[in-house]
Amino acid sequence: MDTLDQAEKRLAVVSSWALWGAFGLCTILSGFARERLIVSLLGFALILAGLVAHVIINRLFRTGFGKGEVVVGFIVFGGSVLLFVLSWILDPGFGGSNALAGVAGFSAIIVAFVLYLVIRFGLKGSFSMFHGPRHD
């Protein structure tokens, strides 16, 4: 990909995540603040829509996820899970519907990630990404 295509792809990805990510995060936080399960789950659905949009953008530009995108994705996901768990443990007002929404939402993101890997690389290719040949 030449530099103009890379810049266009980067702009498309950042614009897409600015839309889906911002609305998703705000909706999740709004649902958590009012203990509204459906609103929180809608926020996670918007985050998943952002992931689907990113996959579509990658397909349009005939690329995959770059190393930087993967690293940022894992950092944001891991940080979000960590903050969720800490909130669940440390906040006495953290209700059951918030716990259910968080567990369901993060589980859906994990399932979507695994499904993407299986569709993109197949079962064998996905498995070999994590479990390469052993050198004993």
Residue 131 lies in a domain: no
Q: Which domain holds residue 29?
A: 3-123
- pLDDT value of position 121: 81
- pLDDT value of position 124: 74
- pLDDT value of position 123: 77
The Cα–Cα gap between 102 and 29 comes to 11
**Which pLDDT tens digit goes with each residue over 30-68?**
999 999 999 999 999 999 999 999 999 999 999 999 999
Q: Which residues of the chain have pLDDT under 50?
A: none
Residue 128 lies in a domain: no
The Cα–Cα gap between 101 and 104 comes to 5
Residue 134 lies in a domain: no
- pLDDT value of position 135: 59
Residue 49 lies in a domain: yes
The Cα–Cα gap between 19 and 12 comes to 11
Residue 91 lies in a domain: yes
Residue 50 lies in a domain: yes
The Cα–Cα gap between 119 and 8 comes to 26
- pLDDT value of position 44: 98
Residue 56 lies in a domain: yes
Domain count, the chain: 1
DSSP 8-class letter at 131: S
Residue 136 lies in a domain: no
